[in-house]
Structure 1
Amino acid sequence: MKKVFLLFAILFLLSGCISGEKHQYSGSSDNWSMDYEVVVANSGSQQVRGSITYTGADPSPKMIDYSMGTILRSQSATGIPVTDGVVSLDRDGCLNCGTIQEYTPIQVEIIWDGQTETFTLKEE
């Protein structure tokens, strides 16, 4: 009986994570392009994935700092390695965090080798 109850509880919890909203964003500047995906589950959790790609003419930098955000939510990181011109932004999910609302533009700033570029990600 305990196993059946545990199985039911697990299925109930997972069902809240399955269906939800998916938001795809993209944007670019002179030297960078970015794709970003946010999957918001019915349970209030979200998963984010994305990549920042160097598109400039010079050799790609070895590291960058970046920040991105909306009015309600922001994130930043420093010393992020660039591998073959790409930075991977795969992140764990969070529960009850400030989720991105539909069609909200996301401001991005990338700093590398003494240079700075900003651009906006828009929902596709």
Structure 2
Amino acid sequence: MKRYKILGGIFLFVVLILSACLDDSKKYNFYGESDNWSVKYKTEVTKEREFGEYIFKYIGKEPAPVVFVYKIESTSLNIGIAEDTFNQKDNVHIGTVECTGCKAYTTENDKIEATLEWDGKTETIKLDSK
């Protein structure tokens, strides 16, 4: 009888530890490419928040622009900035976005578009879930 109580206590302890370690977050990766740009949006979504990272890489044949304008949009996401520059080596710009208590969060079926403007040119790239 005492052995069952000990085993029951151990079982309950293991179940509590395992349930505390469960990850309720969902991770999504979106990717799109044009002749001039490669765009990635990676996000982790929980019930309470969304944390995303977007990466722009200039892959065009002409020299990379000094400044560029970008906007990322979907039904649940709207990231825009007036002007920016590359903040990494190899013509890469990385940024993050976080939203807590948003009305909607990104899902794997979202249709995401990135619009980039530089040197008098504009491209809109559709990002697909990967």
Please indicate the TM-score interval, normalised by the length of the shorter structure: 0.7 to 0.9
Is 1:60 the counterpart of 2:64 in the alignment?
A: yes
Correspondence for 1:101: 107
Q: CA deviation at 1:101?
A: 2.0
Q: Give the 5 Å matches for 1:7-86.
A: 19-42=24-47, 44-83=48-87, 84=89, 85-86=91-92
Q: Percent identity, aligned pairs only?
A: 25
> How many equivalent pairs are there?
106
Deviations 1:30-67 (A, max 9, x none): 1000111110023x211111210000011111111111
Q: Point out where structure 2 has 5 or more consecutive residues left out of the alignment.
A: 1-19
Specify the structure having the higher radius of gyration (Cα). 2
* Aligned counterparts of 2:38 and 2:128: Cα–Cα separation in 1: 12
* Aligned counterparts of 1:51 and 1:112: Cα–Cα separation in 2: 16
TM-score (norm 1): 0.78
Q: Which has the higher strand share?
A: 1
* Aligned counterparts of 1:72 and 1:89: Cα–Cα separation in 2: 18
Q: Point out where structure 1 has 5 or more consecutive residues left out of the alignment.
A: 1-14
* Aligned counterparts of 1:72 and 1:48: Cα–Cα separation in 2: 12
Correspondence for 1:10: none
